[in-house]
Amino acid sequence: MHPTKTLLLPLCLTLATPGGAALADDSPHLDAPESAHWHAGSQSWYVSSLGGGMSVERDGIGWITRFSADGQLLEARWINGLDAPTGLTSHGNTLYAVDRAGVLEIDVGTHRVLRTIELPGAITPNDIAAAADGTLYVSDMAGNRIYRIAPGQDAEAWLQDENLEGPNGLWVEGDLLLVATWGPAKAPGSIETTRPGRLLEVNLTNRQLRVLFDGHSIGHLDGLVRRGEWLYVTDWMVGTVLRISSSGAVQTVLTGLPGLADLGIDTENGALGIPAMRDNRLVLLSLAEGSP
């Protein structure tokens, strides 16, 4: 999975917010963008920035930026003063952002933080996904743990298992939670792995875990979304977007941008939004008409 072409499938590519573009305060619009999320209600892409060049400290220098559907900057600092926000999701008019102190519950209309939901014992909280009823699931990559937050409730450590293999990207569909993994760590807290990550499935009723596609390793996976029969994932280390069929066939969609992180999807229009952490860009991919 190391092809030389940049685009391997018939897609429309837009690079939004070039690295180095400056605001009035002479800071970039994006700084180590980690997650992109499409919110249909406001017709906007929201992108989290760690700030400080991939800093994950509780330093108050992270933020969320808002873009239009076609990647035009709407609000550079839609919400500011965060620590190192990573995964984003939404339910109704509420945006949820994973930060170092926990999950931030943000009103989209006022872009104010309504509350912070603590994640007891979390080491590296990363991605977040929302079920249809508003229940949230949060991955803790180094802790091999998934948290569950029922609407209006505190977080519970819902599943902890070494077989989660560094859980990163999450996607809820029906009574299943799909998990994209980084891979088993060589040592606690290390990003070096004994092998690349895989795709897992967790039953939300009985918490049974199953490895998909005969257990094949795929990559050091970050983001995960679905469109139709296809799953789309990012391999952060290599810098690729991959799509995977229901039979497990893997195709490369985009390559050449190391640090592609937690992608989002505009399901209505079939557009993917992918943060390029090392290039401080939001990459928008519009699937060609008639393609999966």
What HEC string does 105-161 produce? Answer: EEECCCCEEEEEECCCCCCCEEEEEECCCCCEEEEECCCCEEEEECCCCCEEEEEEC
Q: What's the confidence (pLDDT) of residue 1? A: 26
Whole-prediction pTM value? 0.91
Q: Is residue 4 part of a domain?
A: no
pLDDT in tens, 177-218: 999 999 999 888 788 899 999 999 999 999 999 999 988 899
pLDDT tens digits along 211-248 = 999 888 999 999 999 999 999 999 999 999 999 999 99
What is the reported pLDDT for 53? 82
Neighbour-count burial of 139, counting CB atoms closer than 10 A to its CB (0-12 exposed, 13-18 middle, 19+ buried): buried
Q: How many domains would you assign to the chain?
A: 1
Tell me, yes or no, whether 90 lies in a domain.
yes
Residue 2 in domain: no
Residue 5 lies in a domain: no
User: Edge-to-edge strand order for the sheet containing 271-276?
Assistant: 11-16, 281-287, 271-276, 264-266
Domain of 282 in residue numbering reads as: 11-287
pLDDT of residue 56: 84
- CATH number of 103's domain: 2.120.10.30
Identify whether 210 is part of a domain: yes
Residue 288 pLDDT level (bands cut at 50, 70, 90) = low
Q: Say if 6 falls within a structural domain.
A: no
Across the chain, mean pLDDT equals 89
Domain-located, residue 3: no
Question: Is a pLDDT exceeding 60 seen at residue 9?
Answer: no
Residue 230 belongs to some domain of the structure? yes
Quote the percentage of the chain above a pLDDT of 70: 89
